[in-house]
Structure 1
Amino acid sequence: MKLIHILISIISFSISLKVNAQEFYSLKHTELQNKIKGGWAGQMIGVSFGNLFEFRYQGSLINDYQNLPWEDGYLVPSLNQDDLYLDISFIETIEKEGINAPISSFSNAMAHAGYYLWHANQAARYNILNGISAPQSGYWVNNPHADCIDYQIESDFAGLISPGMPNIASEISDKVGHIMNYGDGWYGGVYFGAMYSLAFVSKDVEYVVNEALKSIPENTTYHQCISDVIKWHRKYPNDWKQTWFEIQKKWTDDIGCPGGVYTPFNIDAKVNSAYVVLGLLYGNGNFERTMEITTRCGQDADCNPSSACGILGAVLGYDAMPSKYKKGFPAVESENFKYTHTSLNKVYQLSYNIALENIKNYGGIITNNSIKIPKKQIKTVRWEQSFEGIKPFEKRGIGHKLEDEYTFDFTGNAFVINGEHLLKAGNHTDSEKLADIAIIELYIDGKFTETIKLPVNYIVRKHEIAWKYQLENKQHQIKLKLLNPSQTSYVQLNDVIFYEKTKNE
């Protein structure tokens, strides 16, 4: 019996040691505030710096002789940037309903807002407004843009309110990121959120880049792409352009985004992530060099430096960022981001307040003098991959105004029809501009498949006319039937992309 008591005491003491051995990150309140401010300000600087070059260089570097100008006034238009006002929408949702707000609150905030959206965000908005709720709104079968950059450029908020807690950032991303993305598109946001989170507790950019990647499953194309960039950086430590060329050779085939298949345009999450990681690694903690390299990689040349500078801004803190780029902030910090009720000054404070709540819920210790955040092993999120079993084999021009019916045949297992619903030339009332909706029936192999609604209103438009994945790999006939021809608008069919079964399926 005495021996049993001794064993129980030893076990209890051992458990006590494990509890007491919990390690913590330590931050001062001013340090946390400074890093949050640096993260938000870095985004605004980066997006303003690259704004003139957004998608002007597609599959091409921005030449060294091309000057990348900067003026203090460049910050003003950043209040109307989609990679910022969407973040703000999500922060406002948390302000209203708390950190545990349901996915429906975040998705409705985005879907019913008055701001302009594109790609995965717009496809998700249309889905939500037409009965496909989140997270199905972001699933690739319902959203041809599932692998696009969208949540990646909006996930900053998840990391900025989760300092030193990448697992919490990933939980937020699991909820919000699946509103508009899936697979690689979602992983981009998970990874960036984790980098922001780790930026609060390490000044080593290479560590942040490598450690955050643990949140992504290794057997995904996203992980493989970023791992390659890290490998090439080690192989060519003084030649970022060589790494850029390696990225181009291996990772620039976009099979998802209808605007990027068979074109040099590329808004795929993983390749634009690769440019951000390239900029962070070769910038080596230098804010201006990081921003310039990331911008010169081309493609989404404003969102990418926004992400890189936001992450590095959180690493450095606002006070350590170059004064050259901060002179314009007094003119914008009290102004609300467009379509929101929140200014930059307010989002600094909101992010700080939410971060403290997250830290407390995570088991952190907050006193008047310090903040202690528990150190925990990074969890890898679940595996998922978009556009499995398909590859594009043809892009066929249509160039046809749909007045009644249009039919075509193909042999394969998927198709996407690009086009738009447009107003005819002439003067139109506001009601005509906003209310006109084309109604189209889609038939596949003679069977009615769905009724498609095409609003002429750009805010709630459908990004593509129609698509269908996961068909049987055989010959198909597709028919579009317009039910309500309009006197004021028309449906333009531009082209159709065909897919076939991949060899390993």
Structure 2
Amino acid sequence: MSTHPTGPGPAGPDLADRVHGGWLGRVAGNMLGKPVEQGEVWTRERIDGYLRRAGALPLTDYLPEPADETDALGLRPEWRQCVRGRIHGSCRDDDVDYAILGLHLLETHGFGFTTEQVGDLWLLRLPYLQTFTAERAAYRNLANGLKPPLTATYDNPYQEWIGALIRADVHGWTRPGDPRTAAALARRDAVLSHTGNGVYGAMWAAALISAAFTAPTVRDALESALAVIPASSRLARTVRRVISLYEARLSWEETLGTVSAETAGLGWIHTVPNAAVLTAGLLYGDGDFTRTVTLTVRGGLDTDSNGATAGSVAGVFTGAAAVPARWKDPLEDTVRSAVFGFDGVRISALAERTLRLATAAP
């Protein structure tokens, strides 16, 4: 049974405001990280160098325009729609597309959806060339007639990458205060394309977002999320490592430097090192929306995915009303999406539809 926050007061923002905050945070965090989403190029050091040259450290807003041509050439081509002063609604991105697709899945099939139905919806609503890594491998396998779980394992070298984690938010938003159920729903989605730590990442993220609705602190939400994945998994061990370094009073830079060395070789899109960056952003952000998303993106690796998830967690904690205007106003309550039938949808409308599912959940 879900335990829903029912209204303002000691419990903080009401459920509607928290769900809306999750959507706003996901979109804003994604936009913040998008220009520097290429982890082998945009290291922590290079990101901070860019910000220093632009006079934007500490970072408190969307990325500034590049200070020189060299920096501009290194950015993703969409940067002109994602830097401060140029944002008019959100850019299209898979980190938001999958949240929309997950919402459509639950509206269409309910909480009893099957993994096969997730795959059917991809084929129906999502263009093949807007999928990447494990999702593209699974999509190809689906189109060739394979069924889950073979869709995740056949000719798919990306099984533990971050794709399933970025699809998990809606399962947390619709099961507030019920992290175990949120994780179970995320797992059913994730096994279409992922295995091992790739699946655990989705379960962990869904539980983390679900717990954020009722947990008193980010630290408590992290503990609830760890409880739904195997303690011996590399993901759980790495998240605990970040927590222990934080509690040992290491600086944010020292913590990320230590964990980066310990996860070297996994690659910049693997679930485990990205979960470390995300955990550090949440802990050192200490409940502040701006500090959480900016530290997470400055942590490097898959910056737009990590920024989106950090924003989702922080937005749930603070509620939409408390998200600073500099993050939400440029979004103009509008999302661009490759999901058929959803391009130009309002963020507030997505939040209202998600709320209806959350309040109707058994």
TM-score where L is the length of structure 1: 0.61
Amino acid at match of 1:63: D
Alpha-carbon separation, structure 1, partners of 2:325 and 2:19: 17
Amino acid at match of 1:301: T
Which secondary structure does the structure 1 equivalent of 2:161 belong to?
coil
* Structure 2 equivalent of residue 27 of structure 1: 6
Following superposition, the deviation at residue 207 of structure 1 comes to 1.1
- Structure with greater helix percent: 2
* Structure 1 equivalent of residue 337 of structure 2: 337
Check whether the contact 1:203–1:316 (CA below 8 A) recurs between aligned residues: no
> 1:41-98, CA deviations, whole angstroms, 9 ceiling, x for partnerless residues?
00111011111111154554322515432526436343x1101112211211221222
Alpha-carbon separation, structure 2, partners of 1:135 and 1:199: 30
Change (3 A) 1:243 1:75: farther
> 1:272-318, CA deviations, whole angstroms, 9 ceiling, x for partnerless residues?
01100110000101111111111111111111111101111001110
> 1:156-186, CA deviations, whole angstroms, 9 ceiling, x for partnerless residues?
1110111011111112112101111111111
* Structure 2 equivalent of residue 46 of structure 1: 29
1:402-417 pair list within 5 angstroms: none
* Structure 2 equivalent of residue 85 of structure 1: 97
Amino acid at match of 1:177: A
* Structure 1 equivalent of residue 280 of structure 2: 278
| Aligned: 1:246 with 2:258 | yes
Change (3 A) 1:107 1:23: closer
- RMSD over aligned Cα, in angstroms? 2.1
Amino acid at match of 1:42: G
Which secondary structure does the structure 2 equivalent of 1:40 belong to?
helix
* Structure 2 equivalent of residue 188 of structure 1: 201
* Structure 2 equivalent of residue 97 of structure 1: 109
Among 123, 126, 137, the residue aligned to 2:151: 137
Gaps of 5+ in 2: 57-62, 65-82
Which secondary structure does the structure 2 equivalent of 1:105 belong to?
helix
1:326-405 pair list within 5 angstroms: 326-329=328-331, 331-333=332-334, 337-342=337-342, 343=345, 344-358=347-361, 361=362
Among 206, 228, 241, the residue aligned to 1:215: 228
| Aligned: 1:153 with 2:174 | no
Following superposition, the deviation at residue 191 of structure 1 comes to 0.6
Alpha-carbon separation, structure 2, partners of 1:240 and 1:305: 16
Amino acid at match of 2:159: A
Check whether the contact 1:138–1:181 (CA below 8 A) recurs between aligned residues: yes
> 1:227-254, CA deviations, whole angstroms, 9 ceiling, x for partnerless residues?
11111111234x1000011111101222
Check whether the contact 2:2–2:176 (CA below 8 A) recurs between aligned residues: no
Alpha-carbon separation, structure 2, partners of 1:120 and 1:138: 7
Following superposition, the deviation at residue 23 of structure 1 comes to 11
Check whether the contact 1:148–1:267 (CA below 8 A) recurs between aligned residues: yes
Which secondary structure does the structure 2 equivalent of 1:291 belong to?
helix
Alpha-carbon separation, structure 1, partners of 2:116 and 2:186: 14
Among 59, 63, 71, the residue aligned to 2:48: 63
Alpha-carbon separation, structure 2, partners of 1:357 and 1:315: 21
Check whether the contact 1:158–1:173 (CA below 8 A) recurs between aligned residues: yes
Amino acid at match of 2:21: G
Check whether the contact 1:251–1:271 (CA below 8 A) recurs between aligned residues: yes
- Tell which deviates more after alignment, 313-322 or 100-109: 100-109
Identity rate of aligned residues, in percent? 24
- Structure with greater strand percent: 1
Following superposition, the deviation at residue 99 of structure 1 comes to 2.0
Aligned residues: 323
Gaps of 5+ in 1: 1-21, 255-259, 261-265, 362-505
Check whether the contact 1:88–1:340 (CA below 8 A) recurs between aligned residues: no
Which secondary structure does the structure 2 equivalent of 1:356 belong to?
helix
